[in-house]
Amino acid sequence: MVVHSRIKSSAYFDSVALMLVQREVRALPGVREAGAVMGTEANKELLRDAGLLAPEAAGAGPDDLILSVDAADASTADAALAEAEALLTQRRAGPEVEGYRPKTVASAARVLSGARLALISVPGRFAAGVASEALDAGLHVMLFSDNVPLEAEVALKRRAAAAGRLLMGPDCGTAILGGAALGFANHVRRGATGIVGAAGTGIQEVTSLIHRGGGGISHAIGTGGRDLSSEVGGAAAMAGLAALAADPLTEVIVLLSKPPSAGVASRLLRAARRSGKPVVVHFIGAAVESGERLFSAQTLEETAELAVQLVTGSPPRWPRRAALPGQEAMRLAPTQRYVRGLYSGGTLCYEALLLLERYVGPVHSNTPLDPAQMLPSAHRSVAHTVVDLGSDEFTVGRLHPMLDPSTRLHRLLREADDPEVAVILLDVVLGYGAHANPAGVLAPVIREARGRAHAAGRWLSVVASVCGTEDDPQGYDDQVDQLIEAGALVQSSNAQAANLAGLIAQAAGASGRARVPSPITAGREAERPADAEASGTPPVQEIVRLLAGPVKVVNVGLGLFAEALQSQGIDVVSVDWQPPAGGKQHLIDILNRLGA
């Protein structure tokens, strides 16, 4: 086998197009593996792991496209690279006959009468400019894009607040507004629970569990992971909380995030108490004092349980699938003691870290609870490790793992080959915008991983949870069945899965002293001067009108989000977006200096 690469300097292509081309080239005769990625350091590391980083590709920059193939011989490799270039040219040209696609956000808003929201998923370095265009056009914004500078987020949210608009994001992966599931969101019934969350997969887990517990969702407002930092000041969360307090369909509010900055937490809790509605608060890993109309939850599962009980008067009951951690541990070889978590959801990853530490002690991560447990490299595990594969270092120039599972599949096999690994912990996230059959691609790799371990004289426990509903495009029950048939121990919630993995490792004699993390007390410290100003109730009339619907969307970026909205019967128009100056950074810098 030989590895050949071609570098396309300063070439921009949609990440979905790259994924599809990679898949088609990989299927060509004589091709073992193929890659089509932007030349970021993380992507080059992934190519190296797959044996695809040829010497000519090592010097590629983040604006360069790398095409690589591992083929039977040089002529096959060159032919496959030529085919990859031809496929990319075809996808850039598009079909010969295509409906009109506006070139700008403003023209798209004029084409779609009544448009109120822009859904933006362009590469991070261009996203702030597109969001600014959307605000100029009078639209609310859901900014799915990540890798947006913090100062750009602060400026955009100040502009949005001044205009009475909602700006969700950057890195806002999930929202449900007026019944429209946006980005990565699940198909859940309408109901009386409204959610404000700085936690994309946290929102998905809670909304799915509420649905499976018999409840329903009025709206779910994502804010982006940095919204509750001292720099941003909770701008989107405060606006969302005020809007749900004024929304006539919302009876119970859920406030969900990783631990906010102290000052922002104080303001949010004061606003929650003033909302006049019951509020369930889950600042993951932080203690919140319950009080009149304020209910504190300890896990995402408990958050959903409290919300259903407050609306219906009775708690839900989710099935608990039998699993015997002691029996699993008895099957392990003496060398096996570590848990390796491979997560596509950032909030689910964070919850798993908190729960696992109760059983096995400190857990390493690329997003650790304690900086001392930061992985030297996100691509290499150390002892107990839980990795967020959707964090920035894995997604620059590459699709999110909920769309493209290839990174996790390669990593799963590598972890399974480690003789010290006892348990592999996985999340499987369903919903609109996500992979069409995530369990279908995971199941054969789980079988292979367990088979490799068995051939080496070891047992391998694979523990998983599925976040979704039976009404999702992928089908909850079908996804669960595929994983069980592959040998996975499937649990009803992420918390149950993390607890089971921890119990197995603990029974196997996991190294490290288990501890219960000291909870942060949210909202008790004095507000810090650095906290951005977010006091008072922001004007929310326009946001309440947005929630009342109908939601009509201008889509800028990934076409699959437009397709998901159309499948729900939502009116959407897509912008024919291309990066300014062809994506060539030196030309963009010149234009910026000229004020253009």
Q: How many CB atoms lie within 10 A of CB 62?
A: 16
Give tens-digit pLDDT for 334-374: 999 999 999 999 999 999 999 999 999 999 999 999 999 99
Q: Which residues pair with 291 in a beta bridge?
A: 294
- CB 488: neighbour CB atoms within 10 A? 26
pLDDT at 585: 60
User: Across the chain, what does the average pLDDT equal?
Assistant: 89
Rounded mean pLDDT, 509-531: 55
Say which amino acid occupies 96: E
Question: Residue 554: its pLDDT value, please?
Answer: 97
pLDDT for residue 91: 62
Q: 508 and 332 in contact (C-beta within 8 Å)?
A: yes
Q: What is the pLDDT of residue 319?
A: 77
Q: What is the DSSP letter of 365?
A: B
Q: Could you tell me the fold of the domain covering 2-93?
A: Gyrase A; domain 2 (3.30.1360)
Is residue 14 very low, low, confident or very high in pLDDT (cuts 50, 70, 90)? low
Whether residue 594 is predicted with pLDDT greater than 70 in this model: the reply is: no
pLDDT of residue 90: 77
Sequence-distant (≥ 6) Cβ neighbours of residue 406 within 8 angstroms: 22
Q: In what order do the strands lie in the sheet with 174-177?
A: 180-183, 174-177, 217-222, 190-197, 252-257, 279-283, 294-296
**Segment 182-190 mean pLDDT:** 96
For residue 527, pLDDT over 90 is answered with no
- The pLDDT-based confidence of 588 (bands split at 50, 70, 90) is low
Short-list 367, 577, 134, CA closest to 143? 134
pLDDT for 96: 39
Q: Which of 53-62, 100-109, 127-136, 400-409 has the highest mean pLDDT?
A: 127-136
2-93 and 174-318+518-545, same CATH topology = no
The predicted pLDDT at position 323 comes to 73
| CATH class, 104-171+552-596 region | alpha beta
* Alpha-carbon span 185 to 173, nearest angstrom: 8
Q: Say whether pLDDT at 528 is over 50.
A: no
Number of Cα atoms under 13 Å in the Cβ half of residue 379: 14
Q: Domain residue spans in the chain? A: 2-93, 104-171+552-596, 174-318+518-545, 325-507
At residue 406, the pLDDT reads 87
**With 80 as the cut, is the pLDDT of residue 327 above it?**
yes
Please state whether 339 falls in left (phi above 0), alpha (psi between -120 and 50) or beta.
Answer: beta
Q: What is the DSSP letter of 123?
A: -
419/12: higher pLDDT: 419
525 pLDDT higher than 60: no
The predicted structure's pLDDT at residue 129: 93
Environment class of residue 355 by beta-carbon count within 10 Å: exposed (0-12), middle (13-18) or buried (19+)? buried
pLDDT at 596: 56
Q: Is the dihedral of CA 15, 19, 21, 22 positive or negative?
A: positive
Average pLDDT score over residue span 246-261: 95
In this prediction, residues 480-506 reach a mean pLDDT of: 96
CA distances from 419 to 189, 332, 352, 423, 455 (A): 45, 10, 23, 11, 12
Span of 5-9, 241-245, 535-539, 577-581 with lowest mean pLDDT: 535-539
Task: Give the tens place of pLDDT for each residue, 263-283.
Answer: 999 999 999 999 999 999 999
Q: What span, in angstroms and rounded, lies between the C-alpha atoms of 256 and 281? A: 6
Mean per-residue pLDDT, 430-438: 93
φ, ψ at 379 (rounded to 5°): -90, 0
Q: What is the largest CA-CA distance in the chain?
A: 73
| DSSP annotation string for 155-209 | HHHHHHHHTT--EE-SS--EEEETTEEEESB----EEEEEEEES-HHHHHHHHHH
Please answer whether residues 524 and 287 qualify as being in contact, where contact means their C-beta atoms are separated by less than 8 angstroms: no
Query: 325-507 — its CATH code?
Result: 3.40.50.261
Query: Is the confidence at residue 524, as pLDDT, over 60?
Result: no
Look at residue 83 in the predicted model and tell me its pLDDT. Answer: 93
Query: At how many degrees (to 10) do helices 406-416 and 41-49 cross?
Result: 50
Mean pLDDT of 433-446: 95
25-30 long-range Cβ contacts below 8 angstroms, 24+ apart: 25/69, 25/80, 25/83, 25/84, 25/87, 28/79, 28/80, 28/83, 29/76, 30/71, 30/72, 30/73, 30/76, 30/80
The CATH T-level fold of domain 174-318+518-545 is Rossmann fold (3.40.50)
